[in-house]
Homo-oligomer: A and B are copies of this chain.
Amino acid sequence: MSLDFQSWASSCQTRIETFLEARLPAVDCVPERLHKAMRYSVLGGGKRVRPLLSFAAGELAGADSERITIVAAAVELIHAYSLVHDDLPCMDDDILRRGKPTCHIEYDEATALLTGDSLQTLAFELLAERPLADAPEAQLEMIAQLALASGSRGMAGGQAFDLDSVGKMLSLPELEFMHIHKTGALIRAAVMLGARCSSCLSNEQLAKLDHFAKCVGLAFQVVDDLLDTEATTATLGKTAGKDAEHNKPTYVSILGISQARELAAKLQHDAHQALDGFNEAALRLRQVTDFIIKRKF
């Protein structure tokens, strides 16, 4: 616990990058173009917010860092797959991601489709191929938890709800429903899978972490909406102002900037409060929370 937050976060990011670099199929492995596109879409970019949450939660639970690295990588692969598919012409039709051309621009649409598909599959392969929990039954539960968080009643469902809501006026509860699924579910899985790499935490403690993760997931989205309004494309590394342009309901469009900022602050406070029972061991989770709220991209 002696490292400052920035050094700790860098070491987590390096661990994830090194692991994914070694674990993703090599560029000379047939079919080469698909494997190049998979590596292009995953490596060398992103804030790795979800992995940071997995590490922070896993360390809180005293879990083995190799296990945490693998679950963090699996969650990040699900996130990366969703970005590749989200950027396709039939979805957000975006050309810029993490400051680089999106996968279908750099390669082609068919390759981007198969890239997303294969990244999702690899996430589940990672979660099953070696022991990641104190009991194999717990590991099966972790796999089911990631699947539930990613599928039609989680992330993909949130994206579908988002599609259906373009051009519509959503109520605040509807917007919240959308984000609890679209981004919240995977953030929650990142926290919970990290924590479950060890069996040390009680069910009561896991429930507190889950509540923490819900607050952080919503806070992440409120800040995302604020950044889309306030930041520039160059800073974001993705197209800014997209939500307004696509007439998408956001926290900013529904609440206005000032109230959206207040909501982010309230969620930050609630997230910290959920960690009150953990004392010093929750330091990293608190730091990641503040990092998510204060980020500029």
Q: Which residues of A contact B (CB under 8 A)?
A: 25, 29-31, 33-35, 38, 81, 85, 88, 90-91, 108-111, 113-114, 116-118, 120-122, 124-125, 127-129, 135-137, 139-141, 143-144, 147-148, 150-153, 156-157, 159-161, 163-164, 177
Flag if A157 contacts B109 (CB, 8 Å): no
Flag if A144 contacts B121 (CB, 8 Å): no
* In the complex with contacts A117-B85, A136-B137, A152-B31, A111-B160 CB distance below 8 A: yes
Residues of B within 8 A of A91 (CB): 110, 113
A-B contact pairs, 9 of them (CB 8 A): A25-B152, A30-B177, A31-B157, A38-B152, A110-B163, A118-B156, A122-B152, A128-B143, A136-B140
Flag if A129 contacts B150 (CB, 8 Å): no
For the complex formed, measure the closest distance between the CB of A133 and the CB atoms of chain B, giving whole angstroms: 10
Flag if A33 contacts B164 (CB, 8 Å): yes
Copies of this chain, whole number: 2
Q: Which of B30, B120, B156 contacts A34 (CB 8 A)?
A: B156
Flag if A144 contacts B125 (CB, 8 Å): yes
For the complex formed, measure the closest distance between the CB of A103 and the CB atoms of chain B, giving whole angstroms: 12
* In the complex with contacts A85-B113, A125-B144, A141-B128, A31-B160 CB distance below 8 A: yes
Q: Which of B113, B148, B164 contacts A90 (CB 8 A)?
A: B113
Q: How far is the CA of A150 from the CA of B125 in the complex (A)?
A: 10
